[in-house]
Structure 1
Amino acid sequence: RKQEAGKIDPALISAHNRLGLQLHRELTGQAEAGDNVLLSPYSIWTALSIAYNGSAGTTAREMASVFGLKDMPLNEMNEGNAILARLLEGEDSGVRLNIANGIWHQQGVPFKDSFIQAGKESYGAEVQEVDFASDKSVNTINRWISKETEGKIEKMLEQPLSPTTIAVLANAIYFNGSWTDPFNPESTKDEPFTVADGGVRTLPMMHTANMLPYKETPDWQAVRLPYGDGRMDMLVILPAAGSSLDQLEQQLWADPAPWQQPFDEASVQLGLPRFKAEYGSDLNDPLIRLGMKQAFQPDEADFSHMADIRPLFLSKVLHRMVLDVN
């Protein structure tokens, strides 16, 4: 694993994390008060990477700039993404992580062999020809997403696609992690929980007392809850009593370094809500605000490395996530 990880340019990992935080900031800014904001930066990155392989000219340069990888050759980015996927899906007895990519393109539209090859070789994408004028195409894609997410996301596409649709590029991730030290169900009880606006709700709170990786400052407390063999964990950050979620987010967006370092072990008494949350968003505007403009413009977008057809542009970038903590 260390040898494989050593082949990935650290700039690629930094770019992943940076884009995730930038999108989180954008989505939080447009959310209604009290709304949850959930996203999988890795999933978004992967789907956009496939689209990036089909881009050219200014469109490609803008996408590379948003990725934060203006100086990285495309083949190096593809190779790094492929290695990262293999590492993430590596064997861990307590974690199940499936990463799937799909490319559906309109029947009769000749797609570039280089684009299809990159999708298959670097992203393991399933490639299918479909007729987007038929309602069956939506059912086909929704069934694929439902299967790859173990039914957690049953419907990604809510309505028939435009008959002028040329392609749908999709990434689906299913993660199921078993706690290294599970919570005892008998210790779960309804308790008050303070939400971001200061209101209090009664929620089922899970409890444990354990030696865990822990860190605190005057502004926040943070704990890592390991999964399986400890290779992966959930990082939970709690604003201090005198701080707020807004202040914590501002710190996180400005510099995530304090939470990216290993924590020392400490004896922790933890109460964590048991909850399920869902979120869905159109990412067009956030990506445009970050600088990825031309890709969405029918008259300007250049995806000539995907297919020789105009107009060929990104009409929608959709993201959905379901988080179930128990």
Structure 2
Amino acid sequence: MPTRRTLLALSGALVAGGLAGCLDRGPTPGAGSPTAPDVRANVPRASGDVPAGDFDALVAGNAAFACDLLAELRGEEPNANLFVSPYSVSVALAMTWAGARGETERQMAEALRFELDQNALHPAFNALDRALESGDAGDAGDDGGAGADATDDGGEGGTPFRLETANALWGLADYPYREPFLETLAAYYGAGMHTVDFVGDPEGARTRINDWVSARTGGKIPELFSEGSFDRWTRLVLTNAVYFRATWAEAFDPDVTADAPFTALGGSSSDVPTMRQSERFPYAEVDGVQVVELPYVGGEVGMVVVLPPAGAFEAFEGSLDGSRLRALFEALAEAEGTVALPRFTYRSSFSLPGTLRALGMPVAFDRRRADFGGMVDLEAAGENVYVDDVVHEAFVAVDEAGTEAAAATGVEMGATSAPMDPFEMTVDRPFYFAIRHRETDAVLFLGRVVDAAAAQ
């Protein structure tokens, strides 16, 4: 039988709840039905209990992959503002990895920095997802600024952070997906299988999937898959979506915001709207690199802004890896000081096959050598399946009230410091920023701003 394409596209965000399970067989092999019921199984969501060592290994791998991913992407676009959700990409590819076998499985684990085996990794992701669950169950997607729900004081009256995540599978109604694969994704990712007709109505399938992603990212990712993404050889799409919204624990006063110069990576200077406030923040200076964390209401999540010395941005990011990023987190300690930070809003879109090949997992994209025998009964299918595309889109908006971020792919400090003089941190040149879950150190989003004028 000829080798045929299977699209395992990944979208990104994070909320649990879904359905998956044994397959209802249709009369025509390889063809779906637009009216077929969604595939369901009586598989409850697993508890979030895992060994502490497994949890720590997952979070450390997440930080390492975050830095690897952004480093590879900046090599492709060295002068661009970039923003990704490494957690979203990791979750989507972890679901895909559940069906990988042999060399495909080994390469994916190495590239994605999965240190755990199949029996341990998926429960660990489930535990991390449960640790990240937001206390605010409001609907995503109202209009307004990044922190539109914030009150004037930006403190105790502000809105608790919302981190909503969702996973789903989209496949043919009568294709021989393996039941253990579907049960794994149901139990540990809350991912349900939705039946769509890639064969007879690929555009209808695309519309349905895009609508699902848009609804789960507050409308910030309205069209993850462009026209023509799917065709009659598409067999499966895995989606993971992330929506984040939070107000600062200490809001910036809009009346203080004023234009200030920002020197881009290329050396040009532009005046950009720059927010400013003096307060107590977690702060550190490590080898000349200034690091400050701006906590959100509730204190569970914060934005860490990393400002290398003037002229040293490229050298810094060339040395940035997961260990150094986590070391910067650990160095933070409460200090009095002043922060000046540009407002910014931008989005990034990527097709990731080339990036992931470069990170060390080419076999997954090889239509002949890819082995996803744990996902599909290949003998019954009469064809091989492989990853055809991995698409990722991320949006971020940072203003005086807070932050709104979304992604789709197609991932507390108890120390105190010795007294120090008040710090001054003026972010007027290229910088990195990370949105992290403070208790676990999970890196939810990671970005670089090298031209603030282009991010207005």
Normalised to the residue count of structure 2, the TM-score between the two structures is: 0.68
Q: Unpaired segments of 5 or more residues in structure 1?
A: none
Cα deviation, residue 69, structure 1 = 3.2
Match of 2:67 among 21, 30, 44: 21
Distance 1:159 1:167 in 2: 17
Match of 2:319 among 248, 251, 255: 251
Deviation string, structure 1 residues 65-116 (Cα, Å, up to 9, x no partner): 223335x231211100001001011437610000101100123212111111
> Which residue matches 2:20?
none
> Which residue matches 1:320?
393
Cα deviation, residue 257, structure 1 = 4.0
> Which residue matches 1:11?
57
Are the aligned partners of 1:7 and 1:80 in contact in 2 as well (CA < 8 Å)?
Answer: no
Distance 1:257 1:145 in 2: 31
> Which residue matches 1:40?
85
User: What's the % identity of the aligned pairs?
Assistant: 31
Distance 1:115 1:192 in 2: 53
> Which residue matches 1:81?
125
**Secondary structure class of the residue paired with 2:279:** strand
Are the aligned partners of 2:286 and 2:328 in contact in 1 as well (CA < 8 Å)?
Answer: no
Distance 2:165 2:222 in 1: 17
Which structure carries more relative contact order (alpha carbon 8 Å, separation 6+)? 2
Are the aligned partners of 1:66 and 1:291 in contact in 2 as well (CA < 8 Å)?
Answer: yes
> Which residue matches 2:227?
159
Cα deviation, residue 262, structure 1 = 4.4
> Which residue matches 1:50?
95
Larger helix percent:
1
**Secondary structure class of the residue paired with 1:312:** coil
Larger radius of gyration: 2
Are the aligned partners of 2:291 and 2:305 in contact in 1 as well (CA < 8 Å)?
Answer: yes
Distance 2:108 2:298 in 1: 37
Greater mean alpha carbon deviation, residues 213-222 or residues 15-24 = 213-222
Q: Unpaired segments of 5 or more residues in structure 2?
A: 1-47, 137-158, 400-456
Q: Which amino acid aligns with 1:232?
A: V
Match of 2:113 among 48, 65, 68: 68
**Secondary structure class of the residue paired with 1:9:** helix
> Which residue matches 1:185?
254
Q: Which amino acid aligns with 2:120?
A: E
Are the aligned partners of 2:100 and 2:375 in contact in 1 as well (CA < 8 Å)?
Answer: yes
**Secondary structure class of the residue paired with 2:82:** coil
1:119 is aligned to 2:185: yes
Distance 1:189 1:124 in 2: 45
> Which residue matches 1:271?
340
Q: CA RMSD in A?
A: 1.9
Q: Which runs of 4+ in 1 moved over 2 A?
A: 2-9, 67-70, 90-93, 253-258
Are the aligned partners of 1:188 and 1:205 in contact in 2 as well (CA < 8 Å)?
Answer: yes
Q: Which amino acid aligns with 2:317?
A: E
Number of paired residues? 322
Distance 1:3 1:154 in 2: 35
Normalised to the residue count of structure 1, the TM-score between the two structures is: 0.94
Q: Which amino acid aligns with 2:328?
A: W
